[in-house]
Structure 1
Amino acid sequence: KLNKILNAQELESEKKGKKIHDEHLFIVTHQAYELWFKQILWEMDSVRVIFQNGHVNSSAGRVFNLVKRTSVISLILKLLVEQFSVLETMTALDFFDFRYYLSPASGFQSLQFRLLENKIGVPQSLRVPYNRRHYRDNFKGQDHELLLQSEQEPTLLQLVEAWLERTPGLDSEEFDFWGQFEENVLKGLEEEFALIQAKAESEEKDDLLSEFQKQKDVLLSLFDEKRHEHLLSKGERRLSYKALKGALMIYFYREEPRFQVPFQLLTSLMDLDVLMTKWRYNHVCLVHRMIGGKAGTGGSSGYHYLRSTVSDRYKVFVDLFNLSTFLVPRHWIPKMNPSIHKFLYTAEYCDSSYFSSDDSD
């Protein structure tokens, strides 16, 4: 069926009796994007199936498979980010020669990219309205139904959240990670405050006290569950409070064998988010280069709309990036006692809620 793909480039300008050379490049590049989007969706669906089946076990290769497949997605996105440079070989005037023939088509009409956003977990409430309409209203028939269905399926964000809530050791009676962490932070802050207070009065001391207060407010906010729920309701945080605890536990103990591969997975999810943002940014730059501030093909608001999508509103795993906000000196991190070490590495903990020896996917 390769012939069908190779013969799918129909130049609208040629149909109108005036073949424009660069339209062929434009069509091939966009078709290549769509083929890669299809592969990304294939990988994304397999990742979600693994999470949904509850088969997430680093020793059985499950988390490794998740890392592998999310890494494949990231590598494809990296390729797609670079692919914009091919289109940038055209000047704005070259594009203008055939732009008229593209209307009413619009780059916004990529069904697969919208499906990808939904499957990853871009919140519907945070989407920027497109021409003052719901984004789904720009699609008809089966495409509209596919988008609606994708909105109702569990997102990657939701599945990762549920997985993080089951982080090994988070609810252990042998080791109160969160309680000990809060205690260590309070003690560490007291010690830092005492060191600053011992300094002679000076402008430098005032600056240190000001910075200390900012650091203290940030760290103590981490232990305020009501504040977290408030930020969650505003869309400024995405993970549940318990999932955030799990992510921070993996982050702090990433050198422990049990958490090494889960940490790689969290890193891979961040890479995915970064590359999605880079893709949007490069798309914005290309549109601005080609049409300036004019409306896009299909009557879209073009550059100004696309620019508004390059923000944390569309960053799904923003909480993972913000973990660095709560970095503390290593000696503030609670030490694992022998009981929790044994707990993490015994077969008794390997229940189906977090682990599985099944490796059929």
Structure 2
Amino acid sequence: MTQDKTKNWDQYGEYLALDTLLDIQKPWSADKATGAFAHDEMLFIIFHQTYELWFKQILFELDDVQMRLGRPVVDDCDMQPIVKHLHRVVEILRLLVRQLDILETMTPQDFTDFRDHLKTASGFQSLQFRLIETRLGLRREDRLLFNHCQYDAGYCPASQTAINTAEHETTLFDQIDKWLARTPFVDRDDYKFWDSYRAAVHTMLDGREAMARHAVDGDILDRELAAIARNRTKFDSIFNKDADTSSSPSSSWRLSWRALQAALFITVYKTEPALQGPASLLGHIMDIDAAMSQWRYRHALMVQRMVGMNVGTGGSAGYGYLMQTLEKHRIFTDLFALSTYLIPSHARPPLPQTISNQMGYRYGTTG
């Protein structure tokens, strides 16, 4: 019996490669003579090694999601695993934010005691994090230069090659755009969402204008009418295919026009059975973008707390650089911006019955 238990333990350690895993924490502040090192450097190492393991899992989940979304037709059976894996990525990113609580038990003085031993090592050099950003859809032209250095400075040739390869492959953003553009129901001979929604918007604004003219006058009326006019212009900008879409050089939108209207359609009618999966998918995509922004913010505050106004490890601009990436490195801002164009549920145009029927789950009865 004892032998069996020992054997099981050996298999556990072998399966997880614990001998290797638990032997790779090598503090650089260790004294060659005594072996003593700054106490909190062990926490610092394990913290970042754990991050890299979670980054590996995120890339693993993205492999499967992108494989499924990359097909010419995304099978209905793929929707559940896609949503599940994106949700897992969200939870991992949220965990990474919470893990900062542990690192922040290290005081600035604790960090100072071993910081010089890090030399040029910096979290900026995390290849896996760079690949996650790139795979999600962060473009080279949208990146902030690291301390005004070359885009891929600090990476070895193999890592530079990996980054360059990822930049030339289809990103999750591109796949989401193409998938949205293929959304059925949006533009058909018997129904055009854009026309239906535009009519509902103008009916709603006409009602607001009539109410304002009846209720107020003078300067108050002028301000109210001006606000309604701005709303009309705002909505017209999204309804106009050529005015403000990714096909226009001056566009503030990155999504294609067909994808944009499909995303709004899914958002407006998300309770329809056939749209619940796509709505969850878009929700998780926004959750990923939000979680990464939350991590950037927490990371920036932690860096400011640890090093103040000094440059970051590896020579980065530290807190200032990280705070700029908070806004500059957003990817799916178009999906967030769609909330600008929502209208109250009572003003929402009902779907034609034929389309509503096609979106439902209806099972026949027996007997």
Establish whether TM, by shorter chain, passes 0.5: yes
Give the residue type in structure 2 aligned to 1:104.
T
Provide the C-alpha distance between the structure 2 equivalents of 1:128 and 1:213, rounded to a whole number of angstroms: 37
CA distance in 1, matches of 2:358, 2:98: 46
Which letter maps to 1:40?
A: I
Q: Which residue number in structure 1 is paired with residue 267 of structure 2?
A: 251
The 3-state SS of whatever aligns with 2:270 is coil
Match of 2:136 in 1: 120
Equivalent residue letter for 1:44: L
Which one of 190, 196, 199 corresponds to residue 183 of structure 1?
199
In structure 2, what is the equivalent of residue 357 of structure 1? none
User: 1 CA distance for matches of 2:248 and 2:326?
Assistant: 20
1:42 matched to 2:60 = yes
* Offset at residue 134 of structure 1 (A): 3.5
Instruction: Calculate percent identity across the aligned residue pairs.
Output: 38
Residue number among 165, 173, 178 corresponding to 1:162 in the alignment: 178
Task: State how far apart, in whole Å, the 2-side matches of 1:37 and 1:193 are.
Answer: 52
Question: Following superposition of structure 1 onto structure 2, how do residues 132-281 of structure 1 map, counting pairs within 5 Å?
Answer: 132-229=148-245, 233=249, 236-281=252-297
Deviations for 1:189-241, whole angstroms, at most 9, x for unmatched residues?
22221221223424543442233233222222211222313796457322111
Q: Distance in 2 between matches of 1:316 and 1:230?
A: 14
Distance 1:101 1:16, change over 3 A: farther
- SS for the counterpart of 2:285 is helix
**Larger Cα-atom Rg:** 2
Unmatched runs of 5 consecutive residues or more in structure 1: 347-361
Is residue 2:34 matched to residue 1:19?
A: no
Q: Go from structure 1 to structure 2 and tell me whether the alpha carbon gap of 1:321 and 1:133 turns closer, same or farther (over 3 Å shift).
A: same
Structure 2: gaps (5+ residues): 1-16, 362-367
Q: Provide TM-score, normalisation by structure 1.
A: 0.90
Retained in 2: the 8 A contact 1:258–1:344?
yes
State the shift of 1:323 in Å: 1.1
What's the offset of the Cα at 1:187? 2.7
Deviates more, 1:124-133 or 1:35-44: 124-133
**Structure 2 length normalisation: TM-score?**
0.88
Report if the CA contact (8 A) 2:246-2:254 is conserved. no
**Contact 1:169 1:344 survives alignment (8 Å):** no
* Aligned-pair CA distance for 1:343: 4.7
2:6 paired residue number: none
The answer on 1:53 being equivalent to 2:71 is: yes
**CA–CA separation in structure 1 for the residues paired with 2:318 and 2:353:** 59
Q: Could you tell me whether the CA contact under 8 Å between 2:79 and 2:277 is conserved in 1?
A: yes
SS at match of 2:215: coil
Give the distance between the partners of 2:305 and 2:152, measured in 1 at CA.
Answer: 27
Structure 1, residues 140-191: CA drift from partner, whole Å, max 9, x if none? 2111110001101110000000000011212221211111211222232222
Partner of 2:335: 320
Alignment of structure 1 residues 60-139 onto 2, 5 Å: 60=77, 62-139=78-155
In structure 2, the partner of 1:333 is 348
**3-state SS in 2 of match to 1:137:** coil
Contact 1:162 1:243 in 2 (8 A): yes
**Distance change in 2, residues 1:279/1:200 (3 Å):** closer
After superposition, the Cα gap between the structure-2 partners of 1:15 and 1:39, relative to the gap in structure 1 and judged at 3 Å, is: farther
Asked if structure 2 preserves the Cα contact closer than 8 Å seen for 1:177 and 1:334, the reply is no
Q: Does structure 1 retain, via aligned residues, the 8 Å contact 2:309–2:319?
A: yes
Q: 1:26 to 1:268 in 2, by over 3 A?
A: same
Distance 1:68 1:13 in 2: 42
The verdict on how the C-alpha distance between 1:217 and 1:231 changes in structure 2, with shifts beyond 3 A counting, is: farther
Root-mean-square deviation (Å): 1.9
